Amino acid sequence: MSGGDGVLRKARPGFRWSDVDLLAYKDEGSAPFKSVSRQTLFGGEGLEGELRYFEIEPSGHSTLERHEHRHAVVILRGRGQCLVGDEILAVAPHDLLAIPSWTWHQFRANAGETLGFLCLVNRNRDKPQLPGEADLTSLRADPAIAAFLDEA
Amino acid sequence: MSGGDGVLRKARPGFRWSDVDLLAYKDEGSAPFKSVSRQTLFGGEGLEGELRYFEIEPSGHSTLERHEHRHAVVILRGRGQCLVGDEILAVAPHDLLAIPSWTWHQFRANAGETLGFLCLVNRNRDKPQLPGEADLTSLRADPAIAAFLDEA
């Protein structure tokens, strides 16, 4: 029941935490992404939700993907954009994003700032689906989405 | 799929959000507490977790209680203290607190600052238990805890 038992994990500079590992976002080569890290803040026995902190360096982006499970996102640092379905949404600190089931989504740190956010998911969830050629063609039919996906 | 459908809810000044109601922490008279508000940021169908934002004004405190369900807390603003079991822990922005099952806990905004935090719980959870006389006597046997509980 002491802090040392993991009850309290202090914030450290740079959006790191004591006793929380900085992990790769995904296995290299498993899906397209750029400059993203992952820290699991809460999860495991007794909690049906899992709370992760993702950070995207300037010009980086998460994987364009969709899945059945929902994302509940709280932006913690920086500005950027998120594609959700057919909309490109500008996000800033403390904004809330609810990503519905089976909706294509991608975060981009495209405002010259590091973009960091909490993401709540169900502990038991399905694996993400990557877009096929037909999906990409359909998304790219919107010039704004094509430009978003092509940003460096 | 538009922001208007609740996908994006923008942060507003003062830790408020578009389309998020500011609620009483609990029904008045249901349990002892002081100067606490509650906003439910995420919950409902498809999510097994519920993410709430609680805010305690300076000198306020949450209810001293315990329950089977776990709390996963991320401090968002201000400093204060939290009693967890037999420990009084100082908390500051972005600190993480994991409150185990059946552990007495109480937050106090006792540093002259508004204390605000995210709290993740299971959507399906048990109701909190309040301490009886014997529990309070046992907690107050520690002078530091007695002083904590008596703070204005």
Do β-strands A105-108 and A80-84 pair in parallel, antiparallel, or remain unpaired? antiparallel
Looking up residue B64, the CATH number of its domain turns out to be 2.60.120.10
Task: Name the amino acid, one letter, at A152.
Answer: A
Residues of chain B neighbouring A39 (CB-CB closer than 8 A): none
Question: CA-nearest residue of chain B to A90?
Answer: B8
How large a percentage of chain B has pLDDT more than 90?
Answer: 87
Residue A2: pLDDT above 60? no
Identify the pLDDT of residue A130.
Answer: 96
Strand residue runs (E) in chain B: 8-9, 11-12, 16-17, 23-24, 34-42, 49-61, 71-77, 80-84, 87-91, 96-99, 105-108, 115-122
- Taking CB atoms and an 8 Å limit, are B7 and A42 in contact across chains? no
Is residue A7 situated within a structural domain? no
Mean pLDDT confidence for A108-131: 97
Domain-embedded: residue B102:
yes
Q: Is residue B138 part of a domain?
A: yes
Q: What is the signed CA dihedral for B55, B60, B63, B69, rounded to 10 degrees?
A: 30
Of B64, B119, B139, B149, the active-site residue reads B119
Residue B55: count of CB within 10 angstroms of its CB: 23
Percent of chain A past pLDDT 70, that is, above it, reads 96
Contact at 8 Å (CB) between A122 and A89? no
End-to-end CA distance of chain B: 47
On whether residue B50 sits in a domain, the answer given is: yes
Phi, psi (5° rounding) for residue B65?
-155, 170
Closest CA to B49 of B121, B113, B137: B121
CB B91 within 8 A of CB B108: no
| pLDDT, tens only, A65-74 | 999 999 999 9
Q: Which residue has the higher pLDDT, A17 or A31?
A: A17
The average pLDDT across A47-73 equals 97
Domain annotation covers residue A73: yes
Q: What token pair was written down for B133?
A: 């006389």
CA distance B39 to A97: 15
Residue A82: active-site member: no
Residue in B2, B70, B95 nearest the CB of A11: B95
**Interface subset of B 91-120, CB within 8 angstroms of A:** 91-101, 103, 118, 120
Q: pLDDT band at B5, cuts 50/70/90?
A: low
A94 and B15 within 8 Å at the Cβ level: the answer is: yes
The whole-number average pLDDT for the span A114-118 is 98
Q: Is A24 on the interface with B (CB under 8 A)?
A: no
Contact between A23 and A74 under an 8 Å Cβ cutoff? The reply is no
Range of the domain at A24: 19-150
Flag if A70 and B97 touch (Cβ within 8 Å): no
In a domain, A12, yes or no: no
Mean pLDDT of chain A: 94
pTM, full prediction: 0.94
Dihedral sign, Cα of residue A20, residue B87, residue A49, residue A100 = negative
Give the containing element (helix H, strand E) for B63. Answer: none
Find the residue in B nearest to A72 (Cα): B42
- Tens-digit pLDDT profile for residues B131-146: 999 999 999 999 999 9
Least confident of A22-26, B18-22, B29-33, B102-106: B29-33
Residue B13 domain flag: no
How many other C-beta atoms can be found within 10 angstroms of the C-beta atom of residue B30? 12
In angstroms, the first-to-last Cα distance of chain A is 47
- Minimal C-alpha gap between A83 and chain B (Å): 11
Q: Is residue B112 part of a domain?
A: yes
- Report how many domains make up chain A: 1
What are the structure tokens assigned to B43, written together? 């919950």
Is the CB of A48 less than 8 angstroms away from the CB of B122? Answer: yes
* Cα distances (Å, whole numbers) of residue B30 to A141, B22, B27, B71, B126: 56, 18, 6, 20, 16
pLDDT at residue A4, as a whole number: 45
- Tell me the average pLDDT of chain B: 94
Tokens (6 digits) for A53: 């902190």
